[in-house]
Every structure is written in structure tokens, then in C-alpha cells.
Amino acid sequence: MSFLNPTRIIDEISVSKSMKIADFGCDSGGWSIPLAKKSEDGTVYAVDVMNEALSALKSKAETEKVYNIRTLLADVEKGTNLPAGSFDLVVISNILFQAEDKEAVINEAHRVLRQSGKMLVVDWSNTESVSESEVDQKIKENGFQVVKKIDAGVSHFGVLYEKK
């Protein structure tokens, strides 16, 4: 087992060339850039609550000549202005452990996903603030079913869900 490797995980979840993807809590682009490269004819909406993170992401994307990323300054716990039912995939990586309202994040993902859209959840394992079983239960209660568990490395758990 290794540490978290977004590119390997993205390969495992079958991201296609024309997907519309939302990356909640994108930080400086650890997921957004590899997602955008894989979905080269699609669009990645990178959402973060910190302007500095979005600025760093824009710089990295420009350096790597990745032009299909749109940034959005928003707190996913309070909602985004992304259109409802229009995304193929939502990535939620390393934000649930620090979210005060985990259910609000899950509900926002559910809102923006199209029917049968997928949600990838990757987070720290063995922390006091989040447990895989607690997250799994909340996600299932909010209209998702497990597609498959993902090997997310030694310090993380990963699960791909589908909107029912």
C-alpha cells in the first residue's frame, strides 16, 4: 500500500473524456488537474472556500496547459451555485474529516449530480472526527449506493457511490 495517489484512483473509477465533474474542496488541484487531464473534452468545476487555493490551482493548471477547469469560491457546507442534476461525478476528498456539517456536503453532492451520477469519497482513516462507517451510513441515508471500495492508500479510505 502507498500514500494517496489521485491519478491511480481516477484510473480505477473510469473517468471518461467528456465528463462534467465537481471537485469539492479542491485545494490547489491535487485531484482537479488529473481529473481535467482524463476528462479532456469535459469540464472540472474546482470548488474551494479559500481564494488562495483557487489561485494556486489556476497557476498550476496554466503551467501544465490544462484549460478545462473552472474555479468557484464557495463553502460546500453552505451550498454552491452549481446547477442541480448536471454533474457526472463529484469528488469529495479530505474535507469530511473537517466539515462541521458532513450531511450538508453530501446533500450538495446529491443535488448537483445527475441521476446515476457517481460520487467519490476519499478521506483520512482512523481520525476522531470521521469514520468510514459513519460516513457510509450518512451517504446511504442520503440517496446513494456503494459501487465499489477503492484502495486509497495506507492513511485513507475510498468509496465510489452512485446516486439512486
- The pLDDT tens digits for 47-84 are 999 999 999 999 999 999 999 999 999 999 999 999 99
Contact (CB, 8 A) for 58 and 26 = no
pLDDT digits (tens, 9 = 90+) for 2-48: 778 999 999 999 899 999 999 999 999 999 999 999 999 999 999 99
What are the start-end ranges of the H helices in 48-131? Answer: 51-63, 102-112
Name every residue whose Cβ is closer than 8 Å to that of residue 164 and which is 6 or more positions away in sequence: 143, 144, 145
The CATH H-level superfamily of 6-163 is Vaccinia Virus protein VP39 (3.40.50.150)
Sign of the CA dihedral with 137 first, then 139, 142, and 143 last:
negative
* DSSP annotation of 83: P
Helix (H, G, I), strand (E, B) or coil at 50: coil
Residue 140, amino acid: K
Domain limits of the chain?
6-163
**pLDDT on residue 129:** 83
Residue range 121-125: mean pLDDT, rounded: 95
